[in-house]
């Protein structure tokens, strides 16, 4: 079984913000594989089903980004899984808008949601699907930037990145992380 966790902030006011790229990808995965994310367990919205013979558990933490680890940790513990079964989808300011990157492991890189996950799980060894949101202009605080909606010029590339992110997560499930990295990390 794989847990695919899309990181973001709950609430209508955050729905289309940069920090919710992970939620957007999870919604796309839900739509693609026909798994409804309507349950509520492990401090998050959940759905479960199958994709190409593999069991999937979809999770959208409701704990806000900076406490994502509480939800994801509870989920893995409740399902009796370890971090090898986890795929985390999140926004990344170090990638230009629209780029995605699949990564096997790594540190938080200043991302508080990832920091929370690492703290709760006690490991950095989990797969990530990073969705590029770009860096803010010099006069914009990064904390404010991630809570802003995408600007008009970004919307098409972000839509494409969300679709690619969903395909990348599903490729990890079916083909493995190395194959997904080879397919999706090229420019």
Cβ within 8 Å of residue 43, ≥6 positions away: 61, 62, 63, 70, 71, 74
Alpha-carbon dihedral sign for residues 187, 108, 86, 31: negative
Element (H, E) at 175: helix 155-175
User: 28-50: buried (b, 16+ CB within 10 Å) or exposed (e) per residue?
Assistant: bbbeebebebeeeebbbbbbbee
Residues with a catalytic annotation lie at 19
Terminal CA-CA length for the chain: 30
């Amino acid at each position: 079984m794989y847990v695919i966790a899309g990181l973001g902030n709950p609430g209508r006011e955050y729905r289309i913000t940069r920090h919710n790229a992970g939620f957007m990808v999870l919604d796309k995965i839900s739509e693609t594989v026909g798994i409804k994310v309507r349950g509520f367990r492990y401090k998050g919205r959940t759905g479960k089903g199958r994709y190409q013979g593999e069991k999937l558990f979809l999770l959208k933490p409701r704990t806000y980004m900076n406490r994502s680890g509480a939800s994801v940790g509870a989920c893995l513990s409740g399902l009796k899984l370890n971090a090898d079964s986890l795929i985390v989808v999140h926004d990344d300011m170090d990638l230009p808008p629209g780029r995605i990157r699949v990564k096997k492991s790594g540190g938080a890189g200043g991302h508080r949601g990832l920091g929370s996950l690492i703290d709760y799980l006690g490991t950095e060894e989990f797969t990530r699907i990073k969705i590029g949101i770009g860096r803010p202009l010099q006069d914009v605080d990064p904390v404010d930037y991630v809570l802003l909606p995408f600007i008009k010029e970004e919307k098409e590339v972000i839509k494409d990145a969300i679709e690619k992110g969903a395909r990348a997560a599903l490729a990890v499930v079916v083909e493995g992380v190395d194959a997904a990295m080879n397919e999706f990390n090229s420019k």
